[in-house]
């Protein structure tokens, strides 16, 4: 395992290079961007979300002869954007039918479901230790039948969003309906 310490600009440049590479883009979103979330400040997440939306989006979605198309990896890219978007946060209370206990999770919406960033028991992040951040798996989700309550967090401002592009920050439906909105 190699540990790197990168500033946000270097991190963004590396991610963009991986995203534009043919075979490299397969794992960049879940193995690099998603797993880096616990190390990011709120401002880092806002910065990365905006510049990835502005500069990398066209790597996955394009129009040719009036027809909308995608490149391989677009779903993972949208999944990472949904996870980074701090306005896309929900506290979900659910009854875990496997462990037979009620839990809470800080989640984000993606593809019609709630995906946990962090699980909580008694107000503490589950699995958070000196060696582990408690971040849940990229593919984890809370089954709809388990959900008891959902509370949306207030959407924060993102100082990095450029004038004229505020709709990108405010359009949370894109994460639930990206297949119909973008294809």
Same-domain status, 16 and 83: yes
Residue 40 within a domain: yes
Residue 53 within a domain: yes
Residue 139 within a domain: yes
d(CA 23, CA 126) in angstroms, rounded, equals: 34
- State the average pLDDT over residues 144-173: 96
26 has pLDDT over 80: no
Spatial contact of 140 and 115, defined as CB atoms under 8 Å apart: yes
96 has pLDDT over 90: no
1 has pLDDT over 70: no
Total domains, the chain: 2
23 has pLDDT over 70: no
77 has pLDDT over 80: yes
Residue 157 within a domain: no
Render pLDDT for 29-55 as a digit per residue (tens, 0 to 9). 999 899 999 999 999 999 999 999 999
What are the CA-CA distances from residue 106 to residues 70, 123, 126, 127, 156 (Å)?
A: 30, 11, 11, 14, 15
Range of the domain at 83: 8-87+165-182
Q: Is this structure's pTM higher than 0.95?
A: no
10 Cβ neighbours under 8 A, 6+ residues apart: none
Same-domain status, 15 and 83: yes
Same-domain status, 72 and 94: no
Q: In this structure, how many other beta carbons lie within 10 angstroms of the beta carbon of residue 152?
A: 12
By the 10 Å C-beta count (0-12 exposed, 13-18 middle, 19+ buried), 84 is classed as buried
pLDDT of residue 27: 84
Residue 1 within a domain: no
Same-domain status, 23 and 111: no
């Amino acid at each position: 395992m190699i540990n790197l310490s990168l500033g946000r600009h270097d991190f963004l440049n590396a991610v963009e290079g991986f995203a534009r590479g043919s075979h490299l883009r397969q794992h960049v979103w879940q193995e690099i961007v998603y797993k880096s979330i616990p190390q990011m400040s709120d401002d880092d997440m806002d910065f990365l979300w905006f510049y990835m939306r502005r500069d990398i989006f066209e790597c996955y979605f394009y129009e040719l002869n009036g027809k909308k198309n995608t490149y391989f990896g677009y779903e993972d890219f949208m999944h990472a954007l949904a996870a980074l978007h701090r306005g896309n946060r929900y506290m979900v209370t659910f009854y875990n039918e496997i462990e037979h206990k009620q839990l809470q999770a800080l989640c984000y919406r993606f593809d019609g479901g709630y995906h946990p960033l962090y699980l909580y028991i008694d107000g503490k992040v589950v699995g958070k230790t000196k060696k582990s951040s408690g971040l849940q798996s990229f593919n984890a989700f809370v089954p709809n039948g388990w959900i008891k309550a959902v509370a949306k967090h207030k959407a924060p401002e993102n100082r990095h969003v450029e004038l004229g592009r505020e709709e990108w920050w405010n359009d949370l439906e894109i994460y639930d309906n990206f297949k119909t909105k973008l294809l």
